[in-house]
A = this chain, B = another copy of it.
C-alpha cells in the first residue's frame, strides 16, 4: 500500500525542528481579535463564548481513524475539526474555538503538514470557528487531537438523557454514505472516479457536521440528541441507555444514502448491503434525536433553511430498545467499536 505521506522528496519536519514548525504554523493562522492571544504563548487567551461552555475533544489516529493510503493531509485536518464540531452540534451548541495537538514522526514531509493545516483552516472557516493554536509532539504514528469550545445556542444544551416515552425518534439526512465511501476506498476507488463514488468518498473523507441543524433542532425542542458517529444502532443504544428508555425503530423507515445502491454496481465495489451500512456504518455525522410528536412540524420547519431533510424512524418506548423485531442488546453487531477484540 502506498503511503502518500512518505512519498516524494522535499523537506521534512526534522529540517525545521519543533520551533521552526511552530513558527510556520503560527504564520498560517489568522490573527486574533482584540483581547485574545492565539498561537505563540504557553496557552491561548480567549474571550469565553458564553457563561456556559460546551467542550469536547476527539483525536484521529493513523491506521485506526484514517488510512494514509487514501487520506491526504488536507482530508485528515478537515475531518479532525469536523468530527469535533459534530460533537458540539449534537448538543445544539455553536463551536467557537479549537486547539490542535499534532503528533508526528520527525520524518514527516512538510508538504503533508502544510496540507493538514490547510484542511484544518478550511474546515474552521467553513464552520465559522477560530483555530487558535496548539501543540506539536514527536510520535511514531500520526495523530491529530482537537479540542473544541462552543456556546449553547439560544436553547439549553441538548443531552443524550432527555428522551421521553412517546417522543418521536428522528434522524437528519441519509445514512450509510460514509461507510459506503470507506468500502469504495478499500476496494480501490479514488476521488476523481465516477460522481456517485466521489460523493460517497467525500462523505467519508470530508464529513459535514450538522452544526446549524443541531442549533435549529435544540430551538425546536429536541429532547435528546447524539451524532451518528459509530453507526445508527450503536448510537441509538447509547441514546436510549442515557435516557433510561427503550424504542421501537422501523428498519424500513431508516433513510438510506441514495448513492449506496449505485456504487454497489461499480466495478470497484465489493458486494455491500445498503440497509446494513445505513444501520451499522459509522461516520455519517447525521443527528439522531427525539422530540415530542407535536413538535415535529416545528423541527421540519427549523431544518428547512439548512436544506436538510429529517425522517421519523420510530418512537421512544418504556420497553427495550428494538430495531424491527430484534432487541439491540441481542444484535451481534451494533456498529463500530474500535477497542473490541479486532
Contacts and interface: CB of A to CB of B under 8 A. Distances in A.
Interface of A: 13-19, 21, 35, 37, 40-48, 50-61, 63-65, 86-88, 90-91, 93, 97, 99-101, 103, 106, 132, 134-141, 143, 145, 147, 149-150, 152, 157, 159-161, 225-227, 234, 238, 242, 337-342
A337 B283 CA distance: 36
Q: Pick from A41, A61, A90, A106 the residue with the most CB of B within 10 Å.
A: A41
Contacts of A59: 101, 103, 135, 137, 143, 145
A282 B184 CA distance: 47
A43 B55 CA distance: 5
A59 B138 CA distance: 10
25 contacts: A17-B337, A35-B52, A37-B159, A40-B161, A41-B160, A42-B88, A43-B88, A43-B90, A43-B157, A57-B99, A57-B145, A59-B143, A60-B137, A61-B137, A63-B140, A64-B137, A101-B147, A103-B143, A106-B338, A106-B340, A106-B342, A137-B338, A138-B339, A143-B145, A145-B147
A18 B53 contact: no
Contacts of A16: 339
Given A48-B50, A147-B57, A64 B139 contact: yes
A46 B50 CA distance: 10
A171 to B, nearest CB: 15
Contact of A48 (B17, B43, B51): B51
Contacts of A51: 47-48
A29 to B, nearest CB: 15
Contacts of A54: 43-45
Contacts of A160: 40-42
A335 to B, nearest CB: 10
A167 to B, nearest CB: 18
Contacts of A340: 14, 17-18, 106
Nearest to A49: B48
Given A41-B159, A87-B43, A140-B141, A14 B52 contact: no
B61 A52 contact: no
B21 A339 contact: yes
A336 B149 CA distance: 31
Contacts of A143: 59, 61, 103, 137, 139, 143, 145
B226 A42 contact: yes
Contact of A65 (B46, B97, B137, B242): B137
A150 B139 CA distance: 28
A59 B144 CA distance: 10
Contacts of A57: 99-101, 134-135, 145, 147
4 closest A-B pairs by beta carbon, nearest first, are A147-B147, A145-B145, A43-B56, A138-B338
A46 B41 contact: no
A56 B99 contact: yes
Given A61-B137, A137-B61, A227 B42 contact: yes
Contacts of A106: 338-342
Contacts of A37: 157, 159
